[in-house]
Amino acid sequence: MTDIKNTKIAVIGLGYVGLPLAVEFGKKFPTVGFDINEARVNELSKGKDSTLEVEDSYLKEVLDNYDFKVTTQKADIADCNVFIVTVPTPTDKYNRPVLTPLIKASETVGSVIQKGGIVIYESTVYPGVTEDECIPIVESVSGLTYNQDFYAGYSPERINPGDKEHTVTKILKVTSGSTPEVADYVDELYKSVIVAGTHKASSIKVAEAAKVIENSQRDINIAFVNELAKIFNLMGIDTADVLEAAGTKWNFLPFKPGLVGGHCIGVDPYYLAQKAQEVGYHPEIILAGRRLNDGMGKYVATEIVKMMVKAEMPVKNSKVLMLGITFKENCPDIRNTRAIDIYNELLTYQMDVDVYDPWANPEEVRHEFNLDILPQEQLGTYNTIILAVAHKQFIEMNLDTLKKDKALIYDVKGILPRSVSDKRL
């Protein structure tokens, strides 16, 4: 195992997680950011980050003034001795974990890692994936022996896309290693850039489990308030008023109803559920929360139709504007967005739905959803406006200019003044 002073890092995967981490390590150690996406590497090499996680000026500063570069060539990471894997871990259409990116990344590491090297995984997985699935691949490809010729660690990512306050260095980091010595090394490595500090877990499996329950817990809490919103809606009670009143108690958890998407909260519980079922336990609360949250887009669409019918507004061929398609506010990430569920459900009622989102990449949206986002100057007037994502631009918009006579507004996020919206979740 190398001395920390002689560390040279390769970060495998330069997305929302990998790039911010690579940039910070690049200021402390010789660092190479590796990604198989040529277009992504080309934009980064020019000092441009389309995910908006790293400011362009900051990225360019680190590229120009530190021993840091980005590449698609494996030869450029062949002399590294620490490999940090930050590739995505999605689910398939049946909500089963897809480990393909991890497997491919492990093959890449195996093809270049040398004796004494360390591979650290950050991708969210269920307990056991690092040592049972990934390490055997590194061993097979490299011909090296685990915990003899090379070592491993796990330090789960805690990136919150779009959050400019809780950035990578300001979020406490869980670390772990395959031996006590490696655990100390990994912890020291992250402490060098994480100003918020670290927590050294007792094992890699403990660190994996800690990560996967973080978002599962949040998912279940949001599912609870989503269910409350459904109940209170039937009772004619404003959910926001109820939560505000309950929130006066010191230990009440301040969760709000809404759509639950993204690459973490909407995915991680399925990883935990998969492993639970493999060891003979059928999780009930975890999957119940997932079912409820996954159905909220359809529920919102149905509520919109009911609102229109009660207002004696025609539904078929009605002009509708949906504001927002990304999975969360002030962020361009459309992965696993549940806003698309509202859109697709409204189409089944033969509505004419336009979508406007100043944050989303139009080409990416077209590729993922076969949907064209309208530029603001092409927006017309509408019978119904849906605020699906709480982008700051939408809060500042004058919605009156987009409304037909007697138009309705449905506020999914509950951020508009009550005098402006006709109904909210």
Lookup result for tokens 């306050």: 165
Instruction: Find out whether 127 and 208 touch, Cβ atoms under 8 Å.
Output: yes
Active site residue 264: yes
- In angstroms, rounded to a whole number, what is the distance separating the alpha carbons of residues 99 and 91? 9
Copy the structure tokens of residue 271: 């990883």
Instruction: Find out whether 257 and 226 touch, Cβ atoms under 8 Å.
Output: yes
- In angstroms, rounded to a whole number, what is the distance separating the alpha carbons of residues 272 and 93? 17
- In angstroms, rounded to a whole number, what is the distance separating the alpha carbons of residues 113 and 83? 8
User: What one-character DSSP code corresponds to residue 307?
Assistant: H
* Helix or strand (DSSP H, E) at 330: none
Q: How many helices (H) and strands (E) does the chain have?
A: 15, 13
* CA–CA distances in Å: residue 27 to residues 270, 279, 321, 378: 36, 43, 45, 44
DSSP string, 139-150: HHHH-PPBTTTB
Q: How many residues does the chain have?
A: 425
Nearest one of 309, 308, 292, 311 to 231, comparing CA atoms: 292
Please give the backbone phi and psi of residue 10, each rounded to the nearest 5 degrees, phi first: -115, 125
145-166 in b/e burial notation, b at 16+ Cβ within 10 A?
ebeeebbbbbbbbbbbbbeeee
Pick the catalytic residue from 80, 134, 264, 331. Answer: 264
Copy the structure tokens of residue 91: 């689910």
Instruction: Find out whether 34 and 12 touch, Cβ atoms under 8 Å.
Output: yes
Copy the structure tokens of residue 205: 């499996």
Question: If DSSP codes are grouped into helix, strand and coil, which group holds residue 319?
Answer: strand
Nearest one of 217, 325, 333 to 272, comparing CA atoms: 217
294-304 in b/e burial notation, b at 16+ Cβ within 10 A?
bebbbbbbebb
Active site members: 264
